[in-house]
Chains A and B, each alone.
Chain A
Amino acid sequence: MSARPLALSSRIPARVAHAGLLWPSLGVILAFMVAPIAIMLTYSFLVPGAYGGVEWTFSTAAYEQILFERDFLDDSLTFTPDYLIIVARSLLQATVATLLCLVISVPTAYYIATRPDRVKNIWLFLITIPYWVNLLIRTIALLFVLRDDGPINSALIDVGVIGQPLALSYNGFAISLGLIYSFLPFMVLPLYSAFERFDFRLLEAAYDLYASRRVAFFRIVLPVMRPGLIAGSLLVFIPSVGSYLAPDILGGGKTLMIGNLIGTQFQAARNWPFGAALSMILLTITLIVLFWLARRAAQQQMN
């Protein structure tokens, strides 16, 4: 028997009730999320106003600015890779973070899945808690241990291993570490849930057929984890590309990634169309990655 649809009152027609239930949420998201993004798209094709804001003149200058610099005197365009480097660095940092998270998370997810049930739940709790703990605080905590006079450097100097503090903070290394630190639970949890119901007799069968541990791992374990691998990569890569806090706090306030570059355009530098154009590029990258991975996941399900 199929369940009757939930209804709140017999006097209100189902269509009206349905709309009344659905539209408060849809309306809020459409008005305060989708409309703002549509405005951003429009602004990205305008020119910056003299005192912040925009002027209503159509222009593609904001997008050109990402690749070229306009000369004040003769209006000629010269190629400048500065902003392109920031976009490339964001993609690179996110890729490195995703790959390193994978390397750490695959064995961890496997190990957790092989624990007895009670211990397994404790492990899962331990991985889940940081997922919900304030990201700003976690980033500050990482800066605290990496600083020049932080506990790592102090300990190494006290022991006499090094004379000068190691440059652990305010550089690209710290940002990479920060991204991994921020988003590692996002990788472990989907990998674990993909692997949770693994039938270990498959592994047994592989060994019976003279598979080595390495072959068993790459041919049996990893393919089972693949849906989690895709979901986890998505959950690490997307927030990493647009990350603001890790580069801001651990990178020492230099504009090192696209998130900070966007933020700056709406604060001190005040070029809204340029910031809007960068936002549209970041959003496009995000949606392309999302749809590409969603399609791969759908294809896998069909096979």
Chain B
Amino acid sequence: MSTARLRDLRVFPGFGLLSVGCVVFLYAPIVVLAIYSFNDGRSVTRWAGFSFRWYQTVFANQNIQTAAINSVVIAVIAATVATVFALGAAIATVNRKKGGGEGAYVVLTFPLMVPEIVTAVASLVFFVAVGISLGFATILIAHIVFCIPFAYLPIKARLESMDGTLPSAAADLYASPAKAFLRITLPLLVPGLVSGWLLAFIISLDDFIITALVAGPGATTLPLHIYGMLRLGMTPEVNAISTLMLAASTVLVLISGLLGQAGRKH
């Protein structure tokens, strides 16, 4: 049968249009939000010419700077700790597929199954009950917990798709287990580690509800600050800071995606 006829038969009328509609629906609000962040006017509705004035306001705002630095510091530490822990867990669970592996897997992915609001209030109640005062430390602990599964899954996937005979070959050539790990296994795991770290970093940077409940009165992160600004009303400044966050997440996702593709090709 000719490919032309097959192609024709594959087509269901309207599906293409709906798919385009789906992507437009996903992007239109964020694009509109971003466009209006360049609006030179107090009103968030009427277009009054192009300007960077709201970005200048954002960059001059000391509170936003503090919140942004907090967010990045928390995300870097949480993603790094989670990735190191997850690396260990991935090696242990992939080694011991049979017996006990399932139980560990359920615990490791448990944070993904619990609704976020439940995790948020449970963490709050726990910290209060054991007497850890709410602040930077409690945000960090909560973030490490929910970052672990996001770091664990890509590392585990990478480890499972790896040629398991390579470390054995190294051992046959008299490499010590430590040397085989550092020279063979770890370099092969790099794409999984990077994508796990990036996912954990993005998830930590984005979190709102869990952070909001365990932050206490003093500490703040960028999403908490933006939420606070929104309570006072929709301003072009909200658009500007939101657009900056959108740009940051998009760049990180693109990097993670490109690394993933490069990893698959090898």
Instruction: Report whether chain A binds chain B.
Output: yes
**What chain A residues lie within 8 Å of B23 (beta carbons)?**
123, 126-127
Cα–Cα distance between A145 and B208 once the two chains are bound (Å): 22
Given A111-B18, A181-B25: A134 in contact with B234 (beta carbons within 8 A): no
**What chain B residues lie within 8 Å of A2 (beta carbons)?**
164
Given A36-B123, A133-B246: A110 in contact with B32 (beta carbons within 8 A): no
Question: Contact between B96 and A203 (Cβ–Cβ < 8 Å)?
Answer: no
**What chain A residues lie within 8 Å of B33 (beta carbons)?**
137, 140-141, 144-145
**What chain A residues lie within 8 Å of B16 (beta carbons)?**
111
**What chain B residues lie within 8 Å of A1 (beta carbons)?**
165, 168
Residues of A74-90 at the interface with B, using a CB-CB cut-off of 8 Å, are none
**CB of B141 within 8 A of chain A?**
yes
Question: Contact between A143 and B234 (Cβ–Cβ < 8 Å)?
Answer: yes
1/0 contact string of A130-157 vs chain B (CB within 8 Å)? 1011111110111111010111001000
Cα–Cα distance between A200 and B219 once the two chains are bound (Å): 56
Cα–Cα distance between A203 and B44 once the two chains are bound (Å): 51
Question: Contact between A21 and B88 (Cβ–Cβ < 8 Å)?
Answer: yes
**What chain B residues lie within 8 Å of A9 (beta carbons)?**
176-178
**CB of B142 within 8 A of chain A?**
yes
Give chain A nearest CB distance to B195 CB in angstroms. Answer: 12
Question: Contact between A150 and B145 (Cβ–Cβ < 8 Å)?
Answer: no
**What chain B residues lie within 8 Å of A276 (beta carbons)?**
121, 125
Contact among B30, B91, B121, B124 for A137, CB-based, below 8 A = B30
Cα–Cα distance between A105 and B25 once the two chains are bound (Å): 12
**CB of A48 within 8 A of chain B?**
no
**CB of B118 within 8 A of chain A?**
yes
Residues of A256-298 at the interface with B, using a CB-CB cut-off of 8 Å, are 259, 262-263, 265-266, 272, 275-276, 279, 282-283, 286-287, 290
**What chain B residues lie within 8 Å of A302 (beta carbons)?**
none
Cα–Cα distance between A133 and B66 once the two chains are bound (Å): 22
Cα–Cα distance between A130 and B11 once the two chains are bound (Å): 27
Given A29-B110, A30-B107, A279-B121: A127 in contact with B32 (beta carbons within 8 A): no
**CB of B36 within 8 A of chain A?**
yes
Question: Contact between B27 and A130 (Cβ–Cβ < 8 Å)?
Answer: yes
Residues of B211-259 at the interface with A, using a CB-CB cut-off of 8 Å, are 213, 223, 226-227, 230, 234, 238-239, 242, 245-246, 249-250, 252-254, 256-257
**CB of B70 within 8 A of chain A?**
no
A: number of interface residues (CB 8 Å): 95
**CB of A231 within 8 A of chain B?**
no
Given A10-B177, A282-B115, A290-B113: A245 in contact with B208 (beta carbons within 8 A): yes
**What chain B residues lie within 8 Å of A4 (beta carbons)?**
164, 167-168, 171
**What chain A residues lie within 8 Å of B234 (beta carbons)?**
140, 143-144, 147
Contact among A3, A36, A265, A287 for B126, CB-based, below 8 A = A36
Question: Contact between A144 and B36 (Cβ–Cβ < 8 Å)?
Answer: yes
Cα–Cα distance between A10 and B122 once the two chains are bound (Å): 42
Contact among A37, A53, A144 for B32, CB-based, below 8 A = A144
Question: Contact between A37 and B114 (Cβ–Cβ < 8 Å)?
Answer: yes
Give chain A nearest CB distance to B230 CB in angstroms. Answer: 6
13 sample A-B contacts, Cβ–Cβ < 8 Å, listed by A number: A3-B165, A3-B167, A7-B177, A25-B148, A28-B145, A29-B145, A37-B114, A136-B223, A137-B30, A141-B30, A143-B234, A242-B117, A283-B115
